[in-house]
Structures are given as structure tokens and as C-alpha cells.
Amino acid sequence: MNWKPNPLFMLGLAIATAPIIAQAKIYVSVEQAQQILIPNKSLIKNPIIITDELQDKMRSASSIRHPFQGDRIWRAADGSWFIVDEVVGKHEMITYAVALNPSGAVTGIEILEYVESYGYEVAEANWRKQFLGKTAADPIKLNQDIQNIGGATLSCKHLTDGVKRVAVLYDIALKNQALSLKAK
């Protein structure tokens, strides 16, 4: 007796064992985000050393476990800041940029790269507008002062926590640097 595989079984097997492929979507480059968030201003790269103590303070304020990279920080002559960060969405990294005014308030957010296969609604302008004016003194918490998007809960939560981390970074490390530059 010859065994003949059922074509539907074979199709199901192929689908079940196929890898799930997420397509990276690049929304804007770092340079484009700089022009969008801090237009007509020259930015100077301003990397800082992220000590274990600073990393721990940022982690406890935001719950983001992925380490912050201190080499993606820029400063404008007027004291504005442009910071690129990454957080995990559900499984993959989300790269985003935050602009802060000289007082540390969020003036804008841009999603640079989103790799997840769903939850991309966090890149929509209406959702990102919720962060405008927020500082480290604000809760910046999902379902508290930032609304969730159904189907994108983890991306919303992690981006919200990431923005809180950036605001705390300003408060702990960048504010003092800005004040010392003004004093000179």
C-alpha cells in the first residue's frame, strides 16, 4: 500500500512550520526626525556616559529593562534636546526619537523604525500628541495620562515607559549639563 499525503494536511503543516516574518518599517531617518522635531536649528551631538547608577534610576522610574544608549543624544544652541531610544514592542525593537524643550518638556515624538507585525498604530500622530508638554514630573503612564490603543497595548506601554525614561534622563543628567552651559 502506498501512502499519499493529504494536500490539505501538507498545506497546514507548511503554514504551521513557516517562520513568522516581521517586516521592518522605517518611517523616518534620524536626520529627518531631527528636522521634523527641531526644525531650522543646528544640533550638536552630545553623547553622555550612562553610569550604572543613572541606568538604575532611569529603570526604576520607567520599568524599561533594555539599557539606554548614551551615544544618541543631540543638543541645540537654545537648550533643546533630541534623543533617540529603543524599547521592545511585543517581541521586536521600536526605535523612536523624543524632542525636549530647554525645560525638559516633550515637544514631539517620531517613530523611526517599527519591526512588529501589528501595533504600528503607535506611529499615528494623534496617539503621539498625548506626550506633548509632558515632563518627568508627570506620571507618563499608560491608561493614566496616556491612552492605550487596542491591539497595540505592549507597544503603547513600552513606548510610554520609554518617553518617561527620556524625561527622567533629562531631569537627572541633561538639565544640569544645560545649566552649566548657560553659566559659561
Flag whether pLDDT at 117 surpasses 90: no
Check residue 137 and report its DSSP letter.
Answer: T
In the structure, what pLDDT confidence band is assigned to residue 24 with cuts at 50, 70 and 90? confident
Whole-angstrom distance, CA of residue 26 vs CA of residue 111: 8
The predicted structure's pLDDT at residue 1 = 58
Question: For a pLDDT cut of 70, what percent of the chain falls above it?
Answer: 84
Alpha helices per DSSP H over the chain: 7-17, 30-37, 52-62, 125-128, 153-169, 175-183
- What is the DSSP annotation of 70-130? TTSEEEETTS-EEEEEEEE-SSSEEEEEEEE-TTS-EEEEEEEEE-SSS-GGGGSHHHHGG
Residue 109, SS3?
strand
Where are the domains positioned within the chain? 23-183
How high is the mean pLDDT of the chain? 90
Residue 3: CA count within 13 A, CB half-sphere: 1
Q: What is the mean pLDDT of residues 111-125?
A: 93
What predicted TM-score, i.e. pTM, was given to this entire model?
0.85
List pLDDT tens digits, range 31-83. Answer: 999 999 999 999 999 999 999 999 999 999 998 999 999 999 999 999 999 99
In the structure, what pLDDT confidence band is assigned to residue 176 with cuts at 50, 70 and 90? confident
Question: Both ends of the chain: CA-CA distance in Å?
Answer: 91
Contact 28, 55 (CB under 8 A): no
In the structure, what pLDDT confidence band is assigned to residue 148 with cuts at 50, 70 and 90? very high
The predicted structure's pLDDT at residue 17 = 55
The predicted structure's pLDDT at residue 73 = 98
Residue 9, SS3?
helix
* Sheet arrangement for strand 25-26: 25-26, 106-114, 93-100, 81-88, 73-76, 43-45
Q: What is the mean pLDDT of residues 95-117?
A: 96
List pLDDT tens digits, range 127-140. Answer: 999 999 999 999 99
Contact 149, 116 (CB under 8 A): no
The predicted structure's pLDDT at residue 177 = 80
Flag whether pLDDT at 150 surpasses 70: yes
CB atoms inside a 10 Å sphere around CB 170: 25
